[in-house]
Amino acid sequence: MLVLGIETSCDETAAAVVRDCKELVSSVISSQTDVHKRFGGVVPELASREHLERIEPIVEEAMGRAQVGFDEIDGIAVTVGPGLIGSLLVGLCYAKGLAYALGRPIVGVNHLEGHIYSVVFDNPPVEHPALALIVSGGHTHMFYVPRPGQYKIVARTRDDAAGEAYDKVAKMLGLGYPGGPIIERLAREGDPRAVRFSLPKISDRRPDFSFSGLKTAVSKYVRETGLQPVKEGETPSQAIKDLAASFQDVVIRSLVSTTERVAAEHQPKTLIVAGGVACNMALREAMSAMAERLGIPVYFPSRHLSTDNAAMIAAAGSVKLAAGERAGLDLNADVSLRLQNIEVEDDELRR
């Protein structure tokens, strides 16, 4: 079964062809980083305009690289949320038009479920129950997955997502956008013990995350020490590198300790760590060491499938199509689409 995946939820225009749910045939990602960089974040109006211009050539490139004709495609999978409404609609309308023209079925995919499926290409099959941490620009959410397609939130951020914290701290330090890769690079040359930031504490002892306090602590540190943000073209100082390393160290320790706590409690057969921040090698190493302590295998997507892509959408959609799921042409986007779909005993988790 050949499935074409389309992803336009934020600022990557992406298309991919996947065979039999897990074989990556082609994946094309056009990132708009250059367009949004000078604003220090994604500008929604610009994002949808860029998607509109790029969607057709990107889909054609994915088909060309896969060396398959449109008539060989068995179905189309498209991201329907969460994301930016204007961006989502470009991919969705294009996918619906194509499905209609080809007379092929279409299914909508939750972007977060897509991130969870990003691990299927380069790892052994996921065994359930699984525990999946999505750590990205908009989310830091952990899902308990008792069976494929069933999701229950077991931990989430109370405020900023981890990737968002990276981006905001990078902006504060004049490092550019997106912040994750830049901070990771600088942190390698910095001392993580140079600045003592405390681990975020959740008062009611739920296994949740919080990163806005850390962001404020970094900003306070910059103000109090008079540290100057890096100017364009300037090489970052050792003090900036130390700060980057100290910030990253707390983010990683927080992600790992909370995941360890939940994993020890739920005893999953597989741990999944996906989303843009999962590109981070220091995070991967710390998560792997923790998983080894618990004796649970941990799967990461390959690095180019950690940030937004359409291969993960095609993989998640393939499973739905194979199970006979079909969406109508009234399929719509939902900017705040949730992934949790199984009963929760605890009211507090229903949020």
Report the run of H or E that residue 324 belongs to, with start and end: none
Q: How many whole angstroms separate alpha carbon 77 and alpha carbon 62?
A: 14
With CB under 5 to 8 Å by kind, the binding choice for 181 among Mg ion, ligand ATP, Fe ion, none is ligand ATP
Tell me the closest approach of the beta carbon of residue 5 to ligand ATP, in angstroms: 15
Assess whether the previous peptide bond of 124 is cis (omega < 30° from 0).
no
The angle at the Cα of 194, spanning 190 to 198, to the nearest 5 degrees, equals: 115
With CB under 5 to 8 Å by kind, the binding choice for 76 among ligand ATP, Mg ion, Fe ion, none is none
Report the run of H or E that residue 199 belongs to, with start and end: none
153 annotated as a binding-site residue? no
115 annotated as a binding-site residue? yes
138 annotated as a binding-site residue? yes
Sequence letter at residue 67? Q
280 annotated as a binding-site residue? yes
Residues 6+ apart with CB under 8 A from 264: 294
List, in sequence order, the alpha helices (H) in the chain: 33-36, 44-66, 85-102, 111-117, 162-172, 179-187, 212-225, 238-266, 281-294, 311-322
With respect to Mg ion, which residue has the nearer C-beta, 137 or 200?
A: 137
341 annotated as a binding-site residue? no
Burial class (CB in 10 A: 0-12, 13-18, 19+), 203: exposed
CB atoms within 10 A of CB 213: 17
CB atoms within 10 A of CB 39: 10
Residues 11-70 binding Mg ion (CB under 5 A) are: 11
- The secondary structure of 42-110, three-state, reads CCHHHHHHHHHHHHHHHHHHHHHHHCCCHHHCCEEEEEEECCCHHHHHHHHHHHHHHHHHHCCCEEEEE
137 annotated as a binding-site residue? yes
Residue 308 lies near Fe ion (rule: CB under 5 A):
yes
Q: Of the ranges 149-157, 302-310, 326-334, 340-348, which one interacts with Fe ion (CB under 5 A)? A: 302-310
With respect to ligand ATP, which residue has the nearer C-beta, 165 or 321?
A: 165
Q: Of the ranges 10-18, 155-163, 230-238, 239-247, which one interacts with Mg ion (CB under 5 A)? A: 10-18
108 annotated as a binding-site residue? no
With respect to Mg ion, which residue has the nearer C-beta, 10 or 107?
A: 10
Task: Name which position in 8, 13, 30, 136 contacts Fe ion (CB under 5 A).
Answer: 136
Residue 94 corresponds to which tokens in the numbers above?
Answer: 């294009």
What residues line the site for ligand ATP (CB under 6 A)?
Answer: 10, 111, 115, 136-139, 163-164, 166-167, 178-181, 184, 275-277, 279-280, 307-308
Residues 148-167 binding Mg ion (CB under 5 A) are: none
242 annotated as a binding-site residue? no
Tell me the closest approach of the beta carbon of residue 102 to Fe ion, in angstroms: 27
Q: How many residues does the chain have?
A: 351
Tell me the closest approach of the beta carbon of residue 186 to ligand ATP, in angstroms: 11
With respect to ligand ATP, which residue has the nearer C-beta, 139 or 152?
A: 139
With respect to Mg ion, which residue has the nearer C-beta, 138 or 190?
A: 138
Residues that bind Fe ion (CB under 5 A): 136, 308
Q: Which residues contribute to the annotated binding site?
A: 111, 115, 134-138, 167, 180, 184, 280, 308
